[in-house]
Structure 1
């Protein structure tokens, strides 16, 4: 974790899913968010739901948790998310992005499974994170009623990558 935390700045928690050690995109996203004035609590690779809950105890002002996955196992890695949300350990939006399927082609059922676990938003393009965070901040309880997409996928599933 970086030590450039500044009081008064918006805070997000960033991590890579529990079974995933790919951190290059994680560091690039942290840089993007810091350039937009965010405090980024970067938990790094192999982060469990329990680790996320612990971080939210330490940084309760975090307005979102961003979870990346490159190995395609985010659904399995976030299996404890419903319980954590039910007990109130995670109350801010959970945003997931990256490679979310081990299949060759995208499978929208994988997105549905993540939403069923309690993921609030799935992003295909990390450059949209600051915009989504701004929209979430402007809505009570992170409600994006009227935000394009249901479930709330930030860009078309068939968008080029």
Structure 2
């Protein structure tokens, strides 16, 4: 019986080869959380395409067109302007320009009420998941099914 020479954590085995597009919404230049999330995703075995700060919806669309095998798109925003920055997502989702799940998280409002209203607006734009805590991200990503890697040319 051949035994593997190096055992990897189950989460890393599950994540291997999965592509995540990561970025910070349009008007937001805060990158500390973005870099920490990138580090955690890579350490968990994900392939991360990090677009960095101040990423427009068009840049997210272009990233997906360059990486059609992406399993999810993760967008952060801590300046409270996520909805304004991501309004063009509705059109991108309706036109199937971003068919993978979109996850948004961060500081979505100054108050709980404002954050709750922003969450509802983001979901109406086509965002699939809105997270309140970055610690929820890995669990969610591991629950998402792999996208079909056989993309027609």
- Structure 1 consecutive aligned stretches of length 4 or more whose deviation exceeds 6 Å: none
Give 5+ residue unaligned stretches, structure 1: 1-7, 141-161
* Structure 1 partner of 2:11: none
Q: Which among 93, 107, 112 is matched to residue 85 of structure 1?
A: 93
Q: Is the 8 A contact 2:21 2:72 kept in 1?
A: yes
1-side partners of 2:61 and 2:111: how far apart? Answer: 32
Which structure has the greater CA radius of gyration?
2
2-side partners of 1:46 and 1:139: how far apart? Answer: 27
How far off its partner does 1:121 sit? 0.3
How far off its partner does 1:139 sit? 9.4
Q: Which among 53, 58, 83 is matched to residue 61 of structure 2?
A: 53
TM-score (norm 1): 0.78
TM-score (norm 2): 0.82
- 2:53 is paired with a residue whose SS is strand
Deviation per residue, 1:129-155 (Å, 9 max, x gap): 121011112699xxxxxxxxxxxxxxx
Number of equivalent positions: 132
- 2:121 is paired with a residue whose SS is helix
* Structure 2 partner of 1:99: 107
Q: Which among 14, 31, 53 is matched to residue 23 of structure 1?
A: 31
How far off its partner does 1:105 sit? 3.5
* Structure 2 partner of 1:128: 136
Give 5+ residue unaligned stretches, structure 2: 1-15, 149-153
- 1:97 is paired with a residue whose SS is strand
